[in-house]
Amino acid sequence: EAPVPAESFAASYSRFAVAADHPAASAAGAEILAAGGNAADAAAATMLALGVASPASSGLGGGGFLLYYKASDRTFTFLDFREAAPAAATPDMFVDRPAPMPGRANAASQVGGLASGIPGEPAGIEAMVQRFGSGMPLSRIVQPAVKLAQDGVPVSGAVARMSSYFGDQMRADATMRRWFEGEGPLREGQLLRQPELARTLRELGARGARAIYTGRIAREIVRANRAAGGLFTMEDLAGYRVVEREPLRAERFGHTWVTAPPPSAGGFTLMQSLAVLESLPGRWRPTARGERPGAAFLHALAESWKGPYLDRERYFGDPDHVRLPLEAMLAPSRIAARAAAFHPGLANPPEDYDFPLQAAANTGPGEENGTSHLCVVDAEGNVAAVTTTVNLPFGARYTAAGIVMNDEMDDFAREV
């Protein structure tokens, strides 16, 4: 059964704002801002709280991206803290490998230890706070998340629904098995307590990211991963590094747009969408500020995404290892062709917007992921925009030290 879309709304705030997909996470960020923290501190607290309140979507066992605007010098910085492949990973390690367990999304690249990449979120949080934070200690920033994990947080409708799809796989893990009250899925509104995760969060606050990448917790992560069939080593964890990249920029609709570069496909999708929309007649363009978008614009917006999503599946990869034809994908002639294919009264099939480049490495479309996004604006005008994920819902469906581990190696899979 398809979920009912949430009603969107706009709100104005006088000092600061936090937007996240769980109210407890937004409250965590607001608490840190009210205590004197800035956007970076609050974004870190919000991320940590999201990992407790929405473990299907994100957490310390995953990774993400940060786009940060520093108001004092009007600069943008992009940090890539996505998961990394373990050193022993090979291109063919999922070929002809049987599914580890029954159920949905049960390929070896989607569930179990082999599906996990080296998590990047702990390092990303530390880098964010050290580089942009107000000086508030990490031990204070983790406190809202520790309290949620220790005292419990009500299960959201989204988490309950996703547990109905993956409950049998989750019960194979001793920690997640304790989340369930009975035979059915997690119940919306039930109190979810995670004492193991609370302990891990306290250690993160006391010792920083090295608490996750070295020592007791690192040994537990390696043990759990290898017990689930994975390849992790202590050296893999100790060697993880955050990467800084140059953000994408474009001038559209009289504004400068700054967004995430590859390996994120979201920023590229936005840039192509804006270019196509700007090429259409006025009635299909965005509505004036403060107005609700009309049906004409929403139709054009949906159509403008179809071409970029084809490009995403066909051409995208890690820019450290794959040459991405960004200029060719964003060429004016190609944008004009996609704008010309737009029909004002029809939802075209994606193929109508398909203008292949010469080089293609078709990977096929992936499944919907368990991903989250948050945004924080502080009183000084600093802005933190973070995308964080464990990939598919509840990641690889096993835990280590209370942490839900990702199944990000599914993005490397040649066949799923």
DSSP 338-392: HHHH--TT----GGGG----S--------PPP-EEEEEEE-TT--EEEEEEE-SS
- Quick one: average pLDDT of 323-348? 89
For 87-106, write each residue's pLDDT tens digit.
Answer: 999 988 998 888 888 887 78
CB neighbourhood size of 258 (10 A): 15
For 44-81, write each residue's pLDDT tens digit.
Answer: 999 999 999 999 999 999 999 999 999 999 999 999 99
Q: Are residues 399 and 326 in the same domain?
A: no
Q: Are residues 72 and 178 in the same domain?
A: yes
Most confidently modeled of 100-104, 178-182, 410-414?
178-182
For 191-240, write each residue's pLDDT tens digit.
Answer: 999 999 999 999 999 999 999 999 999 999 999 999 999 999 999 999 99
Residue 359: what pLDDT? 52
Nearest to 331 by CA among 262, 276, 277, 254: 276
For 233-268, write each residue's pLDDT tens digit.
Answer: 999 999 999 999 999 999 999 999 999 998 888 898
In-domain check, residue 286: yes
- 331-335 contacts, C-beta under 8 A, 24 or more apart: 335/272, 335/275, 335/276, 335/279
Share of the chain above pLDDT 70, in %: 92
Q: Where does the pLDDT of residue 11 fall: very low under 50, low under 70, confident under 90, or very high at 90 and above?
A: confident
Number of domains in the chain: 2
The C-alpha atoms of residue 48 and residue 385 are separated, in whole angstroms, by 14
In-domain check, residue 5: no
More confident residue, 365 or 405: 405
Share of the chain above pLDDT 90, in %: 72
Give burial (CB, 10 Å; 0-12/13-18/19+) of 35: middle
Q: Are residues 173 and 240 in the same domain?
A: yes
Q: Are residues 217 and 176 in the same domain?
A: yes
Q: Are residues 126 and 220 in the same domain?
A: yes
In-domain check, residue 160: yes
In-domain check, residue 335: yes
pLDDT at 24 over 50: yes
In-domain check, residue 4: no
For the annotated catalytic residues, the residue numbers are 371
Q: Are residues 269 and 316 in the same domain?
A: yes
> The domain containing residue 402 runs over which residues?
17-244+368-411
Q: Are residues 62 and 189 in the same domain?
A: yes
Give burial (CB, 10 Å; 0-12/13-18/19+) of 217: buried
Examine the fold and report which residue of 321, 353, 385 is the final residue of a domain before the chain moves on: 353
Q: Are residues 41 and 132 in the same domain?
A: yes
pLDDT at 150 over 90: yes
Examine the fold and report which residue of 319, 353, 387 is the final residue of a domain before the chain moves on: 353
Residue 291: what pLDDT? 65
In-domain check, residue 292: yes
In-domain check, residue 361: no
Q: Are residues 232 and 263 in the same domain?
A: no
Stated pTM of the model = 0.89
Q: Are residues 179 and 315 in the same domain?
A: no
Q: Are residues 62 and 181 in the same domain?
A: yes
Q: Do residues 114 and 94 lie in contact, with contact meaning Cβ atoms separated by under 8 Å?
A: yes
Supply the CATH number for residue 314's domain.
1.10.246.130
Residue 289: what pLDDT? 66
Residue 370: what pLDDT? 65
Examine the fold and report which residue of 303, 319, 353 is the final residue of a domain before the chain moves on: 353
Q: Write down the mean pLDDT value for the chain.
A: 91
Q: Are residues 158 and 23 in the same domain?
A: yes
Q: Where does the pLDDT of residue 8 fall: very low under 50, low under 70, confident under 90, or very high at 90 and above?
A: low
The C-alpha atoms of residue 292 and residue 270 are separated, in whole angstroms, by 20
The C-alpha atoms of residue 252 and residue 405 are separated, in whole angstroms, by 39
Residue 366: what pLDDT? 44
